[in-house]
Amino acid sequence: MQRLIVWLKFIRPSNGLLAAIATIVGMLVAGKFSVVLAVVAPLAVFLICSAGIVLNDIYDLEIDKINSPERPLPSKTVSLREAWLFTILLFAIGNLLAISINYYCFALAILNSFLEFLYARKLKRIALIGNATDSWFAASSFLFGSLALANINFAVVFIMLIAFFANFGRELFGDIEDIEGDKKLGLKTLPILCGIKISRAVASLLILIAVILSFMPIYLKLFNWYYLPTIIMADIVFVVSLFTTPKKNQLLTKIAMLLALIAFVVGVVL
C-alpha cells in the first residue's frame, strides 16, 4: 500500500485527472456522448499524461535535486530503472487504449507521446517553445475527446484556445518560481533571459487573452447562458492569480482551470 502511494505521488494524479476531465468535456462539447468512450478515452489521456510527468522527472533529476528534492527520484524513493519501466508501461497502455477507439485518437496519442519525449529531453529547456508545447498538451485533451467521437466543431476549437493561453501563462509563472534552481543548472527560460518583470508581463498577457477568449463562446452563441456565471468565477480567479506570488499563482490557476471545465460542461449540458 505504501508503495502504491509512492507511485501515485510520482504521477501527481491531479494533472492527469484534469486532462481526463478535459477529454470528457471535449466529448460533451462535440455534441455526442458514449458511456464506453467516456471511460476509455479519459483513461488513455490520463495514462499518457502521467507517463509524460514521470518522463519529465527522469530528465529533470538534477534540476529537482535543487527545486524539488522531496520527489521520488531525487529522494531515491524510486530508482531510475523503475521510473523508465513505469514510463514505458504507461505510454504503452495509453496508446493501446487510444488505438482501440479509432485511428484519429491513436494518431494524436502517438504524436503527443513523441512530443512528450522531445519536450522532456530538449524542448522544455527552450524559452517559450517548451511552454507552448506543454500548453499544447493541455489543449489537446479536448481535441482527443472530440476525435473519439470523430466530430470537431467550432466550440471545441475555442475551448482549446482558452486552455492553451491559460496554461501558457501558468507555465511562465512556474518558470519564475523555479528561476533560482534553473539558473544554477544553466537553463535558458524566459525569466532568466529577460528577467522576472518582463516574464510576469508576458505571462499575465497570455492569461488575460484566455480570459477575453472565454467570453467569445457566448458572443458566438456556441454555449448557453448558464455558462456565463461559472466562467466569470473562473476569470476572477485567473485575474487574482496575476497579483500573487508565482507559487500561489500555480494553485489559483489550477482552481480557475477546474472552474472553466465546469463552465464548459454547464454551457452545453444545461
- Mean pLDDT calculated for residue range 166-172: 96
- Mean pLDDT calculated for residue range 29-56: 90
pLDDT at 249 over 90: yes
- The region of weakest confidence among 9-18, 83-92, 143-152 is 9-18
pLDDT at 2 over 70: no
At residue 181, the pLDDT reads: 75
Beta bridge pairs of residue 197: none
Residues of CATH 1.10.357.140 domain(s) within the chain?
1-125
pLDDT at 30 over 90: no
Residues of CATH 1.20.120 domain(s) within the chain?
153-270
- Mean pLDDT calculated for residue range 197-225: 95
By C-alpha distance, which of 23, 48, 58, 49 is closest to 38? 23
CATH number (1.10.287.130, 3.40.190.10, 1.20.1280.50, 1.10.357.140) of 1-125 reads 1.10.357.140
pLDDT at 67 over 80: no
Confidence tier at 188 by pLDDT (50, 70, 90): confident
Asked if 114 and 51 touch (Cβ cutoff 8 Å), the reply is no
Task: State the fold for domain 153-270.
Answer: Four Helix Bundle (Hemerythrin (Met), subunit A) (1.20.120)
At residue 63, the pLDDT reads: 77
At residue 1, the pLDDT reads: 63
Question: What radius of gyration do the chain's Cα atoms show?
Answer: 18
Confidence tier at 71 by pLDDT (50, 70, 90): confident
In angstroms, rounded to a whole number, what is the distance separating the alpha carbons of residues 37 and 104?
Answer: 14
CB atoms within 10 A of CB 80: 12
